[in-house]
């Protein structure tokens, strides 16, 4: 089975490119993040015509996740158990709204029999700035995900589980083009708190199967300041698999060429291959 994850940065703007990715890599499934639309707005026809079923979740023009599959989609779940919501606050920290569980996690079972895979398409919150309410939300989100994964794998140790998406964390200094720039000027992605939260998730029973991916060092290049031509990128898109699924993993590829040309997303697909 061949599964890819991709922050598409608006599926309506890049539906044709997404279909091309499906065809170019002969994908069995594509996990999308930042689709930026409601289910009613999702351009499902272009994918259904190509033989893919669609499951998606979205509340408005922000966030949004989806799963495209030609091997079936079952047990679709919007949001993982314990997923926190986000509440806007004023400058003094007072709540301005009730928590909203955003469209950042979509799970499903793909395939049948012993070859089936349980997948989650995940869009981890961007912390924005150190100490920002979104920063705390990000850490809370990762902790809740860790707890959910630990519970799932304790109940079903042999579960073939894949967590894939845009994690908005660079686990290693080499995952960003200039670590000093990120530490001094950006304030997120590389903090001890974010890295610690991601490490705790991995310790809950999943491993990074995309670390040795071929094709590129990074998965994201900002649109500003000629970041892509200069190769000033970040590696923040990953696939994490349970032991049962990691044993079936054969290779991963970062599709750097998808960042080229007019209308590209600022992220590129990460393709993961699994033996049957």
Binding-site annotation: residue ranges for Mg(2+): 7, 34, 166, 168, 266-267
Whole-number Å distance between alpha carbons of 89 and 128? 15
Whole-number Å distance between alpha carbons of 199 and 141? 14
- How many other CB atoms are found less than 10 A from the CB of residue 221? 24
Is 136 tagged catalytic?
A: no
What's the alpha-carbon Rg for the chain, to the nearest Å?
Answer: 18
Extract the annotated binding site: 7, 34, 166, 168, 266-267
**DSSP letters spanning 103-130:** S-EEEEEESSGGG-EEEEEEEPPP--ST
Is 166 tagged catalytic?
A: yes
Per-residue CA distances from 68 to 11, 28, 124, 165, 225 (Å)? 12, 8, 19, 14, 33
Whole-number Å distance between alpha carbons of 100 and 97? 8
Whole-number Å distance between alpha carbons of 100 and 168? 20
Tell me whether strands 2-7 and 29-33 are parallel, antiparallel or unpaired. Answer: parallel
Residue in 166, 175, 237, 255 annotated catalytic: 166
Is 181 tagged catalytic?
A: no
Residue in 52, 123, 137, 189 annotated catalytic: 123
Per-residue CA distances from 158 to 33, 110, 113, 210 (Å)? 27, 16, 14, 20
Whole-number Å distance between alpha carbons of 58 and 243? 31
Residue in 28, 189, 255, 267 annotated catalytic: 267
End-to-end CA distance of the chain: 7
Residues taking part in catalysis: 123, 166, 267
């Amino acid at each position: 089975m061949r599964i890819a994850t991709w922050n598409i940065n608006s599926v309506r703007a890049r539906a044709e490119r997404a279909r091309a990715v499906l065809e170019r890599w002969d994908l069995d499934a594509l996990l999308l993040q930042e689709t930026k639309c409601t289910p009613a707005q999702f351009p499902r026809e272009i994918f259904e015509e190509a033989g893919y079923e669609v499951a998606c979740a979205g509340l408005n023009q922000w966030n949004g996740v989806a799963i495209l599959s030609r091997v079936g989609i079952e047990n679709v779940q919007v949001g993982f158990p314990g997923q926190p919501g986000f509440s806007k606050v004023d400058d003094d920290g007072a709540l301005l709204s009730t928590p909203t569980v955003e469209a950042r996690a979509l799970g499903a079972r793909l395939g049948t029999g012993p070859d089936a895979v349980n997948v989650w398409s995940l869009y981890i919150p961007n912390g924005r700035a150190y100490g920002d309410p979104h920063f705390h939300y990000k850490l809370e989100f990762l902790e809740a995900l860790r707890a959910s994964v630990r519970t799932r794998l304790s109940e079903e140790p042999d579960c073939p589980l894949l967590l894939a998406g845009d994690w908005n964390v660079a686990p290693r200094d080499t995952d960003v083009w200039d670590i000093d720039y990120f530490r001094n000027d950006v304030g997120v992605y590389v903090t001890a708190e974010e890295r610690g939260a991601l490490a705790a998730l991995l310790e809950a029973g999943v491993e990074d199967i995309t670390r040795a991916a071929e094709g590129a060092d990074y998965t994201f290049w900002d649109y500003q300041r000629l970041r892509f031509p200069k190769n000033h990128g970040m590696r923040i898109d990953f696939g994490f698999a349970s032991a049962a699924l990691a044993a079936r993993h054969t290779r991963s590829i970062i599709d750097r060429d998808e960042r080229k040309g007019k209308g590209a997303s600022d992220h590129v697909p990460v393709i993961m291959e699994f033996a049957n």
